[in-house]
């Protein structure tokens, strides 16, 4: 099978790396189109997946429109040259348009209910739209639901073994509690209309962690601002983040992806974000995420969790229940790709 894949966000590298590795090992030919956004290209290099970078993330509606046009044209060109049997991406406009133009089947992974504009541009052109069972929208006959959660594709115990030795590299220890904090830029299309936290509000969250005995914070941010806080901010290598996350006392911030990752690892998680996606709702149902909309709620919830010495054990028990009730997302995705790519029964 010849498979062309497009990645537009770093989280997609983690999400589908195991699927692609297994397909490559089975002898399938894969071409990955990447994008210069945050640490995406570094992640692809680190996990050993060759790729071609065809664009760089831009700011503002005009900038996003220019990049979208660029990706459309370059994706058309790569599809014409590579002659794939199937196209695969996560909510990609360029991939579905290319599939429609060249009459190549497309499998698109969708996980963001509030990405309305993007969905209008690509859903009508997709052959199959794959979601988890927690996804709240219904796309009719083209939709395939998997009983899993996206972070389990790379953080399930079958695929991820946290390495405590990584902590030593950053001067951290399992005996001294530390936090993971994630802040995002709020510049995605689906973020429009929401007020992001101010610099002062972010600093107050960090200060609150310091007052509660957290001296070191594993800090990941899309922002370049300098934050003042009575804690040491440690900026990890992208490939080390999940190892550091797995031993943290708490994860807090406004980034949905990082919050969901910490939650499936059984780390007490506070998500300061008003957007309500199906995956977060599912993790809330398991008690693995505490979602709040305001800064005062964030500070109060963080204090409540850190003052409860049983929090870690409670979250780990909740994680065990989650793992017992969810399927292997990677195996389901591989089967769908093989079937749609002509390597199995028709989907």
Provide the pLDDT confidence category of residue 275 given band limits of 50, 70 and 90.
confident
pLDDT surpasses 60 at 320:
yes
pLDDT of residue 344: 57
Cα–Cα distance measured from residue 105 to residue 90, given in angstroms and rounded to the nearest whole number:
14
Cα–chain center distance at 274:
17
* For range 170-181, the mean pLDDT: 95
Q: What is the mean pLDDT of the chain?
A: 90
pLDDT digits (tens, 9 = 90+) for 71-83: 899 999 999 999 9
pLDDT surpasses 60 at 197:
yes
- Whole-prediction pTM: 0.83
Provide the pLDDT confidence category of residue 195 given band limits of 50, 70 and 90.
low
Q: Which of these ranges, 1-10, 47-56, 186-195, has the smallest mean pLDDT?
A: 186-195
pLDDT of residue 222: 78
pLDDT digits (tens, 9 = 90+) for 217-242: 999 987 777 787 889 999 999 889 99
Q: Which of these ranges, 53-67, 253-267, 301-315, has the smallest mean pLDDT?
A: 53-67
Is residue 319 within 8 A of residue 265, CB to CB? The reply is: yes
Provide the pLDDT confidence category of residue 330 given band limits of 50, 70 and 90.
very high
pLDDT of residue 305: 97
pLDDT digits (tens, 9 = 90+) for 109-137: 998 887 788 889 999 999 999 999 999 99
* For range 279-294, the mean pLDDT: 94
Walk me through the domains of the chain, giving residue ranges and CATH numbers: 2-148+327-340 (3.40.50.2000), 165-325 (3.40.50.2000)
């Amino acid at each position: 099978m010849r498979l062309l894949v497009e990645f537009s966000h770093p989280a997609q590298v983690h999400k589908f790396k195991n699927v692609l590795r297994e397909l490559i090992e089975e002898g399938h030919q894969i071409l990955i189109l990447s994008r210069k956004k945050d640490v995406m290209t570094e992640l692809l290099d680190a996990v050993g997946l060759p790729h071609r970078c065809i664009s760089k993330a831009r700011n503002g509606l005009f900038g996003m429109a220019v990049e979208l046009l660029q990706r459309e044209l370059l994706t058309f060109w790569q599809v014409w040259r590579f002659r794939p049997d199937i196209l695969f991406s996560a909510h990609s406009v360029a991939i579905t348009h290319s599939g429609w133009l060249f009459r190549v089947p497309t499998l698109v992974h969708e996980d963001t209910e509030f990405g309305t504009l993007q969905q209008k541009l690509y859903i009508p052109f997709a052959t199959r739209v794959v979601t988890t069972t927690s996804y709240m929208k219904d796309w009719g006959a083209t939709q395939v639901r998997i009983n899993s959660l996206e972070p389990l594709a790379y953080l399930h115990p079958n695929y991820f073994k946290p390495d405590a030795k990584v902590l030593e590299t950053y001067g951290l220890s399992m005996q001294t509690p530390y936090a993971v904090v994630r802040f995002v830029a709020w510049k995605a299309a689906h973020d429009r209309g929401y007020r992001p936290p101010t610099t002062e509000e972010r600093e107050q969250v960090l200060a609150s962690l310091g007052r509660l005995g957290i001296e070191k914070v594993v800090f990941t941010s899309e922002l370049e601002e300098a934050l003042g806080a009575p804690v040491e901010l440690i900026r990890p290598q992208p490939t080390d983040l999940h190892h550091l996350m797995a031993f943290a006392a708490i994860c807090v911030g406004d980034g949905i992806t990082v919050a969901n990752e910490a939650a499936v690892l059984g780390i007490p998680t506070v998500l300061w974000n008003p957007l309500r996606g199906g995956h977060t709702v599912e993790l809330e149902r398991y008690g693995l995420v505490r979602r709040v909309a305001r800064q005062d709620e964030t500070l109060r919830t963080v204090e409540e969790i850190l003052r409860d010495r049983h929090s870690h054990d409670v979250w780990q028990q909740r994680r065990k229940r989650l793992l017992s009730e969810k399927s292997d997302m990677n195996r389901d995705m591989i089967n769908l790709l093989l079937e749609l790519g002509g390597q199995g029964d028709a989907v």
